[in-house]
Structure 1
Amino acid sequence: MTESNRGLLLALFSYSMWGSFVLFFSLLKHIPATEVLLHRVIWSFLFVAIILTLSKNWGRAKTALLNRRLLLALFCSSLLIATNWGLYIWAVSVNRAVDASLGYFINPLVAICLGVIFFKESLAVYQKVAILVASLGVAYKIIGMGELPWIALTLAISFGLYGLVRKKTQVDTVTGLMIETILLLPFAVAYWLWLLFQGQQHFSISTDGALLILAGVLTALPLLAFSAAAHRLSLTILGFMTYLAPTLQLLSAVLILDEPFDDGDLITFSMIWLALLIFSGGAIWRRRKTPRSIA
C-alpha cells in the first residue's frame, strides 16, 4: 500500500469517527453533558498517557510543561476545546445535533476570518464571495426564522479560536492534547468528587461506565489518525474531507435520530454548502494556476 493510500484510509477513519460522534453521544443523553465532559477529559488523559508511555515520548510533554508561555497558550486552548466539547455533547443530548453540524460546516469560513484578523491575511475574491454567501445563510436563519444559530456559531468560533491558538504553539498534536487534558484534569477530578459526594454521579461498572471511558478513547484516537494522515496527504484532499464529518453528523441526526429539518434549515444549509463549494473550487483553481504563473 502506498503512503498516499495509507494516508487516505487514516483520514477516512478519523473523519468517519468524528462524524459518528452524534450517534455515540446520543447513547449518553440521560447523563448531564457536564458529567460526560469530565469523563471525556479524564479518560482522554489516561489514554494519551498510555500512548506517550508506549512510544516513549514523555520527554516532549515534560519540556512543554516547563515552558510557561506555552502552558499559558495551551491553557487557553484547553478552555476553548472544553467549551466546544461540552456544548456539542449538550446539543446532541437536547436533539440539536443538526445545529451542531451547521457549526462545523461554518468553521472553515470562520478560520478564514480569523486569519484575516490575527495574521493580516488577504482575501481572494472567491473567499470574499464564499464568506458573503455563508453570512447570508446565517442572516436568513436569524431574520427569516427569528432564531440566532448560537449553537452553530459558538461551536464554529470556539473551534476556530482553538485552531488559532494551537497554530501559534510549537507543539505536536499528541503532546498538545496531553498538556490540555493535564490542565483540565484538576477541574474534572474535583467535579467528579463533588458528584460522588452528592450521590449524583452515573459512572459504574456497567454500559454507561464503558461508554464514558470510551468517550475519552474516541477523543484521542481520531486525532492520532488525523495527525498521521496529514503527513501523507495534500491540503487539497484534506480540505475536501473536512466536510465529511459534519455531513455524516447531519445525516445521522436527520435520518437516524429523527431530528427536524425543515425548509428553513434547507435554505440555510444550502447557502452554507454553496459557500463551501465556492471556497473549495476557488482554492483548487488557485493552486492549479500558481505553478503555471511561476513557470
Structure 2
Amino acid sequence: MNTTIGVTLNVIASFLFASMFAYTSLLTNLNGEEIFGWRMLLTFPCLTVFIITRGYWGQIVTICQRLTQSIMFVVTRIFSAAMLSFQLWLFVWAPGNGHGLSVSLGYFIMPLTMVLIGKIAFQDRMTGYQKVACFSALLGILYQIGFSENIAWPTLAVGLGYPVYFWLRRKTDTNNIGGLWVDMVLSLPISIIFIYSGGEITSDILGNIDTLWLVIGLGVLSASALTFQALSGPHLNLTLFGLLVYVEPALLLVVALILGEEIKASEWPTYLAIWFSVFLLIVEGVTSLGINNKFRRRKNMHI
C-alpha cells in the first residue's frame, strides 16, 4: 500500500469533481437535465472499460444473477438508481442555479449523517469525537431552521439523501463499483430521454459544435474524476480515505464563492457549527492514523 500515491490520486479526483462543478456554469445553452443526461451517457462507457480492465466484472455478474432471483432486489436496484440519478443531477444543476453553497454544505453534513445511520441501522460504535461532532452539527441545523426558518433543500437532499443511498447499497450488499455500474445502467434510459427532450445538441449538431465540445469535456472530467477516485482506494486505509472525503466539499465551497454566491450573516453559525464538527472528525482521524502507524512500526520492529 503506497499511501502517498493514494492521497495524490484522491486529491486529484477531488479537484476534478470541483472543476466539473465549475465547468457546468459554461454550459449555458443546456438545462440541468440535459447536462445530467450527457454526463451519464459519456461517463458510462469509460466506467465500463475501467471495470473490465481492472477485473471487477465478476461483481456485475453476481448482481445480475441476484436480479433474476428476487423481485425485491430488483425494486431496491431501481430505487437505488433513482437516488443516484437525483444526486448526480443535483450536482450539475446547483452551480448554475445559485445553490452551489447549499450543495457544498450538504457534502460537509453527509459524513456526519452517515455516522448516525451507521449507529442506528448497523449498530456501529460511535466514538466520543463522533458524538460531539454530530451534536454540534445538529445544533447548527436546528439554528438554521429555528432562526432563519429554513434550510436550503439541496443541503438536506445531499446531507440526508446520499447517506440513505449508501445505506441501501450496504444493506443489499452492492456497495462496490459493480453496484455503481448497475445503478448507472438503470439510469441510462432517463438520461437519454433528458438529452433528446432538451434537443439543444441533437437537433442541430453542426450548429452547436462549440456546445458539443463542452459536453465532451464534461464527460472527460466526469470519467477522469471517477477513475482517479477508484484508483486511490487500494492505496488508502479507511481512516485516511474518510479524512479525504472533506477535500471535495471544501473545494466545492470555493467554487461556489468564485461563481458569485456568498454566505449570509444568518448562515454563519450553521457553517461554523458544521465546520467544527468536521474539524473534530479530522482530529479523530489523524489521531487514529498516528496510532495505527505507531503500532505498525512497533510490530515491524518485533518482527
TM-score tier, shorter chain, comes to: 0.7 to 0.9
**Aligned match of 1:31:** 30
**What is the alpha-carbon distance in structure 2 between the residues aligned to residue 203 and residue 104 of structure 1?**
37
**Aligned match of 1:209:** 212
**What is the alpha-carbon distance in structure 2 between the residues aligned to residue 286 and residue 7 of structure 1?**
18
The 1:134–1:192 alpha-carbon spacing in structure 2 relative to 1, beyond 3 Å, is: same
Identity %: 24
Which residue of 75, 98, 101 maps to 1:98? Answer: 101
**What is the alpha-carbon distance in structure 2 between the residues aligned to residue 190 and residue 113 of structure 1?**
36
SS of 1:20's equivalent in the other structure is helix
Figure out how many residues of one structure are paired with residues of the other and give that number.
289
- For residues 114-168 of structure 1, the C-alpha deviation after alignment (integer angstroms, 9 at most, x for no partner) is 1122112232332221111111111222222222232111112121122222323
The 1:5–1:14 alpha-carbon spacing in structure 2 relative to 1, beyond 3 Å, is: same
1:15 to partner: Cα distance? 1.5
Runs (4+) off by over 4 Å? 52-60, 69-72, 169-173, 199-203, 283-292
Matched, 1:271 2:276: no
Q: CA RMSD in A?
A: 2.9
**Aligned match of 2:233:** 230
Contact 1:64 1:71 in 2 (8 A): no
1:53 to partner: Cα distance? 5.2
**Aligned match of 1:152:** 155
- For residues 162-208 of structure 1, the C-alpha deviation after alignment (integer angstroms, 9 at most, x for no partner) is 22223235457443332122111122223434444xx7967735232
**Aligned match of 2:283:** 281
**What is the alpha-carbon distance in structure 2 between the residues aligned to residue 133 and residue 277 of structure 1?**
11
**Aligned match of 2:124:** 121
Contact 2:41 2:188 in 1 (8 A): yes
Contact 1:44 1:181 in 2 (8 A): no
TM-score (norm 1): 0.85
1:112 to partner: Cα distance? 0.8
Unmatched 5+ residue regions in structure 1?
none
> What letter is aligned with 1:264?
S
Contact 1:13 1:225 in 2 (8 A): yes
**What is the alpha-carbon distance in structure 2 between the residues aligned to residue 56 and residue 131 of structure 1?**
38
Deviation larger for 241-250 or 158-167: 158-167
SS of 2:148's equivalent in the other structure is coil
**What is the alpha-carbon distance in structure 2 between the residues aligned to residue 251 and residue 278 of structure 1?**
21
Unmatched 5+ residue regions in structure 2?
none
> What letter is aligned with 2:127?
A
**What is the alpha-carbon distance in structure 2 between the residues aligned to residue 264 and residue 203 of structure 1?**
46
> What letter is aligned with 2:137?
A
**Aligned match of 1:16:** 15
